[in-house]
Amino acid sequence: MLTMSGLVANERLQRLRPALVGYLLSSGALASAALSQLVTFAILARALGPLEFGLFVQISAVTAIAVQLCGLGASDGLLRRVARKPGSYAALLGHNLCLIALSGVVLVSGGAIALSAWLRIGTGPSVGAGTLVLLLFGNVVVVRVILLVETAFLGLGRFDQANRTVAGFALMRMAVAGLACQVFGVSTLAEWAIWQFAGYLLYALAGAVSLRRFGRPRFAILREELVPGLLFASQFAMRAIRANVDLLVIGLFAPLATVGSYGVARRIVDSSYLAIDALNRLLYPRLARASRDGLHNALPLTKRALVAALGLGLATCLTLFLLAPELPVLFGRHYQDLSFFVRCLSGTIILVGAWAVAVDLLGASGRQDARAWILNGANLLGSALIAGATWLAAPVGTFVALYLVEGAIAGIAWLVLLRLVRRSRLRAGAGL
């Protein structure tokens, strides 16, 4: 017979099992996506060579910023409101599609003009207008539609389908890169732009078909969601600027081969946030429900998530540090600086884990204003700090600036969250 303590432990395990299984499935999907992305980058790095791959990294830095602006943050409203009220799905899906179309036109046209001017300043080869448009449209508008499919599944509670969408997208990119570069001999950025665009478009169409059974979208812009959406988008856009400003500045004075190595290192580290992202993408709908009657009600769940996020960040950091010397074998002998860059950047994952849970609770509870002030302020000042440090003392100055910014965000995010929790608890006690 089981003892009383054994019974309690068994009951606790039974309660934790659904969350554990959900996390493993979510992290498994993101892990396969990250691994596939790493292989994709390795294929492209070898096929395009250090010069054209360095150019691709610079353009990708711009598209990483633009994709956060495409749709004007409407995906947050879809995830938040559909998790609470599934009947709002059709209206919010249509709202998202309208804003993706409108903002996409501006971002692709404006981005092509801006990139043409920026790339002429550097020392790399020129890029045709048609190639730029294909890269921008595919990596901004089409990718935003694919991300919308994942968000819709998450909001509807279809986590298995969301996981399959993420993993499938990564596997598709790897398959397209392998087919294009290793079978058809693609060796230029212009050729790769065509292949990438075609693959993304086909996958987006498949995603649209998979959503048809949940009902057609109602095409209309929901005015009440515009401001929260803009606040949400601004946070990720500013973060993307901070995450890519060093790539853009380095590209002005460093050889494109160095830019390629640094760009790969940044993408590897960014992809390594998957352990924390897997936790947060499952946590966000739960935080939205838990904080419905007051921010303070979700704090116990957030504290438990913080411990998990820090543990995951530490494990990921150590894994990257140990595996870094083997990376040039995968990417090629031209990327010898890659190991050094990855080791220097790996510690930032722990700091991201420290602040990600806090800002997710602010967003899930509807406090996009506080979340926007924290992230936008830190990212705006951080971008200037990183750009200046990169210009003056790259790469050491870049690393110091990155750690300072991530640490500042963690400290400020928790100070603001705990202050708002105290206010929420006092209002609840007063019966307001």
DSSP symbols for 257-278: HHHHHHHHHHHHHHHTTHHHHH
CA angle 270, 276, 277 (to 5 degrees): 75
Would 34 be classed as within a structural domain? yes
pTM for this prediction: 0.70
Distance of CA 325 to the CA centre of its chain: 26
The predicted structure's pLDDT at residue 55: 84
Would 4 be classed as within a structural domain? no
CA–CA distance, 61 with 247 (Å, rounded to integer): 7
The predicted structure's pLDDT at residue 27: 52
DSSP label of 183: I
Would 147 be classed as within a structural domain? yes
The predicted structure's pLDDT at residue 6: 47
Number of domains in the chain: 1
The predicted structure's pLDDT at residue 215: 84
DSSP label of 292: T
Cβ-count burial of 255 within 10 angstroms (0-12 exposed, 13-18 middle, 19+ buried)? Answer: middle
Domain around 406: 20-429
**Residues found in the chain:** 432
Would 5 be classed as within a structural domain? no
Would 182 be classed as within a structural domain? yes
The predicted structure's pLDDT at residue 314: 92
Would 11 be classed as within a structural domain? no
What residue ranges of the chain have pLDDT lower than 50?
1-2, 4-10, 12-13, 16
Please name the amino acid found at residue 306: L
Would 362 be classed as within a structural domain? yes
Q: Choose among 100, 64, 34: nearest CA to 238.
A: 64
Would 293 be classed as within a structural domain? yes
